Amino acid sequence: MRLEVKDLAAFRGDRRIFAGVSFVIEPGVAATLRGPNGSGKTTLLRALAGLSRPAAGDAVAADASLQQERDLYQERIAYAGHADAVKPAMTPREALRFWGDYFDTPRAELDERVEAALTQFELTDFADRPAGRLSAGQRRRTGLARLLLLERPIWLLDEPFNALDANAVDALARIIQSHLNAGGAALLALHGPSPLREDATFNMTDFTAVAPPASDPFLDGFDDVFAQTEPLP
């Protein structure tokens, strides 16, 4: 399924985070989003996931508009952010069942899909161990495994390889490639090298030129006041 981003912009107060973000990701493509810390990668992914409202522009997943048909648009999107979203007291199996219920995975298929996700993410050996006793990489894999329960064609992944060892990186790369081979698309925010072929790369520095701050009427004239103030002894 195709994702088209059209002139998207986001602000925080008077500060522009990014503006004029436009690109297209075709089915079967894993695109990479790059840029230094603070350049707006996470903000952009959250906007594209429908978790925050952009200041301008739009995104279209197939025929659904983010701005006009948010609910329908979000049914096409799976987002995995920095947080694993796994409660420490829950086991990987319990967490995946919870997410399957939350996202309306058919009951008749839920257990089979959960077990398949545990297997593909190599979680079966500790599937019944509380997440609070798992390593950072194991918790990360548990959080990512819910992608396989959603059956959503567009994946938005924020630094998905963080905390994963080499074997887990290879396993996740195979899972993403399988998603692409089935006609899905993915946008990955990354700092380091990608284990996937980079079919398209978008750099946030192309969209983050700093806009001049707006004048604050409350501070007007303060420079003159400070200039007349005697220095402290």
Q: Tens digit of pLDDT per residue, the chain (233 long)?
A: 899 999 999 998 778 899 999 999 999 999 999 999 889 999 999 999 999 999 999 999 988 999 999 999 999 999 999 888 899 999 999 999 999 999 888 888 999 999 999 999 999 999 999 999 999 999 999 999 999 998 899 999 999 999 999 999 999 999 999 999 999 999 999 988 899 988 899 999 999 754 444 444 444 444 444 344 444 44
- List CB contacts of 207: < 8 A, sequence separation 6 or more: 18, 19, 20, 21, 40
Q: How many Å is the Cα radius of gyration of the chain?
A: 21
In the chain, what are the domain boundaries?
1-76+152-233, 87-151
Give CA angle at 164 (139, 29), nearest 5°: 105
What type of residue is 130? Answer: P
Residue with tokens 């829950």: 90
- Rounded to two decimals, the pTM is 0.86
At residue 188, the pLDDT reads: 97
CA torsion angle 79 84 88 89 (round to 10): 30
Class of domain 1-76+152-233: alpha beta
